């Protein structure tokens, strides 16, 4: 038995009662004693194996055998790595898919007895039906190598999210400037979440990229400012490259003395604060409604109509009436009013105007039903929907259509500050142009036509009695003087009041960089902005003169963004002006990108999905919002990063390293 320990090549045949050399026999060595016939001269058994072990041919064959074993071992390892990486690819792709679709990844019960183990595990098993490697790993693989534990999910999701943040960080660094927008929202978990978004110019296109949701334990100025700076630092974005900041009108964010914007500007002086234009417009509409009594009563009636028609019995009857009156059109739904949703007033007015005949027909049917409570409410609403209501409806729909168009433009990521300023002036001019007799006559005529379609008596308001101290509106002149003109005047005044801060000289420079603006390239308008961003006046004057000649030769106009694209090939010749134009394009108009991230947050966390941690929620939101980047991630890079975090898990290391060593 000791010979087996002494000679690793030794093997014994029971049938032939002979010893053989495995290495020489496999290599086809010509010696017959230890290869073909076997060695059975037991008298020399203590000497011959030693002689064979030291022979040169035997040593050569032993070396070949060792190399063969090494290749086989490493080939087997390479195959194992290939299978593990193939399986891990399915894990990464499944997590990326569920993240992009904002679907729940985990289930309440994920054991083998559960009929629904969650989208992630069910998707993996579905892939296993088409991939034998995935199926084998899920069914036969060791429990510590399935990579399906929620900690593994969180780690992989975090790796993918950080890879996207790294892409954004590199693009911001290449852009040299960025603008910051921040907003906060309370989710289903009753926790305040801060959304942080950066805007920058990259490859001749504007990017507004969500970075992170940060939970805010405290909502004081210092805490919020520290959260913002920490997030930028974590994403490797230099705060000193910030040229603008945009928040809503909350005092803690926008207050001019002790707000976040002022404290941030003390650390980054060039970061101009812009109060979100979309929030301003919403304040205009809300304040206009509050300041004109007839408008306030009209919108109160609209909300009452919405509440009544939201009940299932009434709603079903309302849909049925629409189908009967207009069988070729799709039934419309009434809209709820909200002080925080932009332009919802217009949507509510439009919906009621389109469905007023069906509304009146539904109220008539409900009045004749047996339910006394419902019939009483319907009778009260039917009384409120009179000629006065119809006139206000037609008037508000006509006026708010202008502000709705403005609201839609302000929410576009491509909207630039210069264009937004011009848009405000255009809307104000359009509202002023509507303040005339001809426009009022068109509104009055349309309102009477709508009364006819809905079966509303246009004479029912012709009363001489007063209601309290307020004289009722009875004639077209009454409506024009006490309703139409006051609403337009309030809209214009509120627009001027809420958008007046942009008269500051720094932001005027953004308009002067717009080729369509009357002050385009006017040095006196551009100079304050140039000085604010550290540009020498002499250099600016020389470049303005030269760029005018270039534009005359190229005969190009367009927007500020198109000007930046045109100047890009000449950026070395117009260093300062190109920098200013890029800043003008980058300056924020609104914080709507934060609002869009809150919509994603509501899809991720609802009353059935409220247990995920803050880090996981933020990473999933990033992957979902940046779905194009998520789908473009290199899965091998994700797996390499995951393996690098676990040095003991060599089963995931790159195949190429093994092949090179072989």
pLDDT tens, 120-166?
888 988 998 998 888 888 887 776 678 888 888 999 999 999 999 99
In a domain, 488, yes or no: yes
- Please check whether residues 224 and 109 belong to one and the same domain: no
- Please check whether residues 42 and 88 belong to one and the same domain: no
- Please check whether residues 553 and 490 belong to one and the same domain: no
- Please check whether residues 298 and 343 belong to one and the same domain: yes
- Please check whether residues 39 and 176 belong to one and the same domain: no
Of residues 188 and 317, more confidence is placed in: 317
Burial class (CB in 10 A: 0-12, 13-18, 19+), 396: buried
In a domain, 591, yes or no: no
pLDDT at 577 over 50: yes
- Please check whether residues 357 and 457 belong to one and the same domain: yes
CA 587/CA 574 separation, integer angstroms: 20
Instruction: Give residue 657's pLDDT.
Output: 45
In a domain, 106, yes or no: yes
Instruction: Give residue 622's pLDDT.
Output: 94
Instruction: Give residue 660's pLDDT.
Output: 42
Mean pLDDT, all residues of the chain: 85
- Please check whether residues 373 and 259 belong to one and the same domain: no
- Please check whether residues 433 and 556 belong to one and the same domain: no
Range 30-53 average pLDDT: 83
352 confidence band (pLDDT: 50, 70, 90): very high
pLDDT at 465 over 50: no
Percent of the chain with pLDDT over 90: 34
Instruction: Give residue 217's pLDDT.
Output: 81
Burial class (CB in 10 A: 0-12, 13-18, 19+), 531: middle
CA 364/CA 303 separation, integer angstroms: 19
- Please check whether residues 337 and 392 belong to one and the same domain: yes
- Please check whether residues 269 and 290 belong to one and the same domain: no
Instruction: Note whether 363 and 385 are within 8 A (CB).
Output: yes
List CB contacts of 444: < 8 A, sequence separation 6 or more.
391, 476, 479, 480
Burial class (CB in 10 A: 0-12, 13-18, 19+), 182: buried
pLDDT at 167 over 70: yes
Cα Rg of the chain, angstroms: 38
Helices (H), 101-220: 119-128, 132-140, 150-175
pLDDT in tens, 470-486: 566 778 888 888 889 99
- Please check whether residues 265 and 304 belong to one and the same domain: no
Pick the last residue of a domain from 554, 586, 618: 586
pLDDT in tens, 335-349: 988 777 766 888 899
Range of weakest confidence among 135-144, 407-416, 582-591 = 135-144
N-terminal to C-terminal alpha carbon distance within the chain: 35
Query: DSSP states of 251-282 as a string?
Result: HHHH-TTTSHHHHHHHHSTT-EEEE-HHHHHH
CA 521/CA 512 separation, integer angstroms: 6
Domain count, the chain: 5
In a domain, 652, yes or no: no
Range of the domain at 465: 281-501
pLDDT in tens, 259-303: 888 999 999 999 998 888 888 888 888 888 778 888 888 999 999
In a domain, 600, yes or no: no
In a domain, 643, yes or no: no
Range 451-457 average pLDDT: 89
pLDDT in tens, 294-310: 888 899 999 999 999 99
CA 511/CA 422 separation, integer angstroms: 8
Pick the last residue of a domain from 466, 501, 536: 501
Query: DSSP states of 206-231 as a string?
Result: EEEEEEEEEE-S--SHHHHHHHHHHH
pLDDT in tens, 182-240: 998 887 778 888 999 999 998 878 899 999 998 888 888 889 999 999 999 999 999 99
pLDDT in tens, 354-385: 999 999 999 999 998 888 999 999 999 999 99
CA 205/CA 252 separation, integer angstroms: 32
Pick the last residue of a domain from 501, 536, 567: 501
76 confidence band (pLDDT: 50, 70, 90): low
405 confidence band (pLDDT: 50, 70, 90): confident
| Closest among 449, 463, 322 to 394, alpha carbons compared | 449
List CB contacts of 285: < 8 A, sequence separation 6 or more.
343, 345, 400, 403
- Please check whether residues 365 and 473 belong to one and the same domain: yes
Instruction: Give residue 503's pLDDT.
Output: 46
In a domain, 597, yes or no: no
In a domain, 59, yes or no: no
| Closest among 496, 479, 410 to 444, alpha carbons compared | 479
pLDDT at 463 over 60: no
pLDDT at 493 over 60: yes
């Amino acid at each position: 038995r000791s010979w087996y320990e002494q000679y690793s090549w030794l093997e014994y045949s029971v049938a032939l009662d002979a010893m053989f050399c495995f290495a020489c026999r496999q290599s086809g060595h010509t010696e017959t004693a230890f290869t073909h016939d076997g060695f059975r001269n037991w008298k020399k058994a203590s000497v011959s194996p030693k002689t064979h072990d030291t022979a040169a041919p035997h040593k050569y064959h032993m070396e070949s055998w060792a190399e063969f074993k090494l290749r086989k071992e490493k080939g087997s390892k390479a195959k194992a790595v290939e299978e593990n990486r193939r399986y891990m690819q399915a894990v990464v792709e499944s997590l990326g898919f569920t993240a992009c679709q904002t679907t729940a990844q985990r289930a309440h019960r994920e054991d083998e007895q559960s009929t629904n183990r969650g989208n992630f595990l069910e998707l993996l098993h579905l892939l296993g039906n088409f991939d034998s490697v995935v199926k084998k790993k899920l069914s036969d693989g060791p429990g510590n190598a399935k990579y399906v534990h929620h900690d593994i999910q969180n780690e992989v999701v975090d790796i993918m999210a950080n890879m996207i943040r790294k892409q954004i960080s590199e693009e911001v660094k290449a852009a040299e400037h960025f603008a910051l927008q921040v907003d906060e929202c309370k989710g289903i978990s009753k926790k305040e979440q801060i959304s942080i978004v950066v805007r920058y110019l990259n490859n001749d296109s504007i990017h507004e990229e969500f970075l992170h949701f940060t939970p805010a334990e405290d909502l004081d100025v210092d805490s919020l400012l520290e959260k913002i700076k920490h997030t930028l630092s974590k994403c490797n974005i230099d705060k000193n490259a910030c040229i603008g900041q945009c928040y809503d009108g909350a005092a803690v964010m926008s207050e001019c003395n002790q707000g976040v914007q002022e404290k941030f500007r003390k650390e980054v002086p060039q970061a101009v604060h812009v109060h979100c234009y979309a929030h301003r417009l919403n304040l205009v509409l809300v304040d206009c409604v509050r300041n004109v009594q007839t408008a306030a009563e009209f919108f109160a009636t609209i909300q009452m109509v919405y509440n009544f028609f939201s009940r299932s019995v009434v709603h079903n009857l309302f849909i049925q009436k629409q189908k009967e009156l207009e069988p070729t059109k799709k039934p419309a739904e009434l809209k709820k009013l909200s002080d925080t949703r932009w332009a919802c007033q217009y949507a509510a007015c439009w919906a009621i105007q389109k469905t007023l005949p069906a509304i009146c027909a539904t109220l008539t049917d409900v009045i004749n039903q047996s339910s006394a409570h419902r019939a009483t409410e319907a009778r009260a609403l039917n009384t409120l929907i009179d000629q006065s209501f119809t006139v206000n409806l037609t008037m508000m729909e006509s006026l708010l259509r202008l502000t709705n168009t403005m609201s839609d433009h302000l929410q576009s990521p491509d909207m630039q500050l210069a264009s937004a300023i011009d848009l405000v002036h255009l809307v104000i001019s359009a509202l002023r142009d509507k303040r005339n007799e001809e426009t009022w006559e068109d509104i009055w005529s349309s309102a009477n036509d709508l009364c006819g379609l809905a079966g509303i008596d246009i004479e029912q308001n012709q009363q001489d009695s007063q209601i309290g101290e307020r004289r009722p509106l009875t004639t077209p002149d009454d409506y024009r003087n006490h309703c139409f003109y006051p609403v337009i005047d309030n809209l214009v005044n509120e627009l001027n009041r809420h958008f007046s801060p942009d008269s500051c000289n720094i932001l005027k420079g953004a308009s002067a960089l717009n080729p369509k603006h009357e002050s385009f390239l006017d040095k006196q308008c551009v100079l304050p902005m140039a000085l604010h961003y550290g540009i020498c006046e002499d250099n600016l004057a020389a470049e303005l003169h030269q760029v005018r000649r270039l534009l005359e030769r190229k005969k190009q106009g367009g927007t500020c963004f198109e000007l930046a694209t045109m100047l890009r090939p000449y950026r070395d010749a117009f260093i300062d002006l190109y920098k200013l134009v890029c800043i003008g394009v980058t300056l924020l108009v609104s914080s709507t990108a934060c609002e869009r991230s809150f919509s994603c947050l509501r899809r991720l966390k609802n009353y059935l999905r409220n247990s995920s941690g803050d880090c996981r929620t933020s990473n999933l939101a990033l992957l979902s919002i940046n779905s194009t980047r998520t789908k473009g991630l290199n899965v091998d890079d994700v797996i390499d990063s995951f393996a690098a975090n676990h040095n003991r898990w060599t089963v995931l290391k790159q195949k190429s390293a093994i092949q090179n060593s072989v």
